[in-house]
Amino acid sequence: MKIFIAYTLVVIGIPYLAGLLLGKIITMPIAVLVGLLRNAGLLHGSDEATAAQDYAGAFAWSLRGSIQMSVPDRIVHICMDVFNGFGAVLTAGFIFHLFGLSPSVFILLILAGWQIFFTIAYKQAFRALFGDLAGIVIGWFLILWLFSAA
């Protein structure tokens, strides 16, 4: 019964939602640092026109097509995507740990399937998909290491 509940929580997307929240929380200091460096004039984009363009570029990041975005903003978005996937896998691993179960490859496949589904269903950019999948794979190897050490 525990395995059914654990997989049900993963399938309905609880780790995916928690990964989105965790990714935003982890990325916040990076985004604040980029904003502070921009306001100090150390990064380009300190005038209002460029800041407005970067703000519009933040929405364009998840849409398909080319974007006009500064390199620091691209780094922030890539970090956010990677940490979203990383947080999802860590949450799924934590759920399985709470139930006393060891993780299987199905966790990896379910989370990757969720991300691929959202990318295709909402016509999001593949750059966000690759970032999320990279975070999922990195997190997968981390939880395998954590479970083998325990």
Model pLDDT, residue 124: 85
Model pLDDT, residue 67: 72
Structure confidence by residue, pLDDT tens digits, 31-48: 899 888 888 877 765 555
Structure confidence by residue, pLDDT tens digits, 46-90: 555 555 555 555 555 555 566 777 788 888 889 999 999 999 999
pTM for this predicted structure: 0.84
Model pLDDT, residue 17: 94
Q: Report the mean per-residue pLDDT for the chain.
A: 86
DSSP string, 35-90: HHHHHTTSSS--SHHHHHHHHHHHHHTTBSS-----HHHHHHHHHHHHHHHHHHHH
